[in-house]
Amino acid sequence: MGFFDRLKQGLTKTRDKIVQGFRAVLPIGKAIDAQVLDDLEQTMLAADMGPAIVHELLEQIRSQWKKGLIKETQEIVPFLQQKLIERFPVEDRQIRWAATKPTVILVTGVNGSGKTTSIAKLAHHLTHVEQKKVLVAACDTFRAAAVEQLTIWADRIGVPIVKHDQGSDPAAVAFDACEAALARGIDVVIVDTAGRLHTQDHLMRELAKIQRVIDKKIPGAPHEVLLVLDATIGQNAVNQAKIFGQFVKVSGLFLAKLDGSAKGGVVIGIRDQLGVPVKFVGLGETPDAIAPFDPAQFVTALLEN
Ligand SMILES: Nc1nc2c(ncn2[C@@H]2O[C@H](COP(=O)(O)OP(=O)(O)O)[C@@H](O)[C@H]2O)c(=O)[nH]1
Ligand SMILES: [Mg+2]
């Protein structure tokens, strides 16, 4: 299955909600009026797209309508699609590759958001699609199960893993992983971390320490700090990311569990709300259930029947 089909399938719940909502408020052949636009606004808000962007898009539609450039309800979705796609700059989507290898990607987020699974997907994608040599670092030393989980994925995908015993210093694991990567000519190191909340002071300091150690070993690293967000919580994920962003400089988002979510519309507004782009989305529990974020594909998969 290609990325688009996978995306479309993964977005089923969200799409059903949006498409049904749009169908109800935008019946074909109806003349646009103020009520139609109000209903459309409510539908978009209900789809978790985010208040600011919804308001802005509605203003654009309203202005087109007032100028007589769009008149009937069926003209709205194509206009909306075009406006949405324009909002996501191309440069957003690239991983921030290091000038000299390895590139280090630090993965963070709250407990259960999907970090370890998303790392498996990323390792799979970078290995098989981008032909990179990947190494994973098991810096979630908090629970034995966490190291085991990553080990199983690494074996399945066929990438090396650097790990220590449970309870050991995650920064030391990160240090060893960087050293191993340099010695083995690895292209990308992906660092798993324990789930944490901003209120857990010691864990936030631990994350900073991991970053410092990585930077010391590989100056400028980590090149990418990916925050994994659970798409099933919709707009709450945005709030979570805002809080996280006060403690860690996040460079990209990995939106996991889109397949289980009817709130996938959150992707639409999240870039504007956070100033951080979505780089990948997770669409299931297997390593191949990943799609790089492609706005045109996303918008099409989301809005088209
Ligand atoms: N349906 C679905 N489940 C996912 C996805 N990503 C992660 N999960 C599940 O979410 C749960 C928590 O994932 P895990 O990677 O262990 O989260 P972590 O605690 O952040 O490392 C697991 O049951 C995963 O299988 C996804 O994209 N889709
Ligand atoms: Mg984990």
Q: Provide block-wise average pLDDT over 10 residues at a time, the chain (305 residues).
A: 86 92 94 96 93 95 97 96 89 88 97 97 96 98 93 98 95 98 98 90 92 97 97 92 90 95 91 92 95 92 84
- Before 102, cis peptide (omega within 30)? yes
Closest ligand 1 atom to 192 CA: 21
Buried b (16+ CB within 10 A) or exposed e, 240-261: bbeebeebbebbbbbbbbbbbb
Rounded Cα distance, 47 and 291, in Å: 21
C-beta 6 within 6 A of ligand 1: no
Residue 286 near ligand 1, beta carbon < 6 Å? no
The pLDDT score that the predictor gives to residue 20 is: 92
Given a contact cutoff of 8 angstroms between Cβ atoms, the answer to whether 137 and 189 are in contact is yes
**Which atom of ligand 1 is nearest to 113's Cα?**
20
Which helix (H) or strand (E) segment holds residue 214: the answer is: helix 201-217
- Tokens encoding 136: 């994973």
> What confidence score (pLDDT) does residue 93 get?
78
Report, in angstroms and rounded to the nearest whole number, the Rg of the chain calculated over CA atoms. Answer: 21
CA distance 288 to 128: 10
Could you tell me the distance, in angstroms and rounded to a whole number, from the CA of residue 16 to the centre of ligand 2? 30
- C-alpha distance from residue 122 to each of 149, 178, 209, 234, 258 (Å): 15, 18, 24, 22, 16
Query: Is residue 113 lining ligand 1, measured as CB closer than 6 Å?
Result: yes
- Is the CB of residue 20 below 6 angstroms from any atom belonging to ligand 1? no
Long-range (24+ apart) CB contacts under 8 A made by 54-58 are 54/269, 57/83, 57/84
pLDDT (0 to 100) of residue 300: 92
Closest approach atom of ligand 1 to CA 111: 19
Instruction: Please state, in angstroms and rounded to a whole number, the distance separating the CA atoms of residues 130 and 190.
Output: 15
Q: How far is the CA of 252 from the centre of ligand 2 (A)?
A: 18
pTM of the predicted model as reported, rounded to 2 decimal places: 0.94
Distance 260 CA to ligand 2 centre (A): 18
Residue labelled with tokens 């408020």: 25
Give the model's pLDDT for residue 288. Answer: 94
* Residues written for the chain: 305
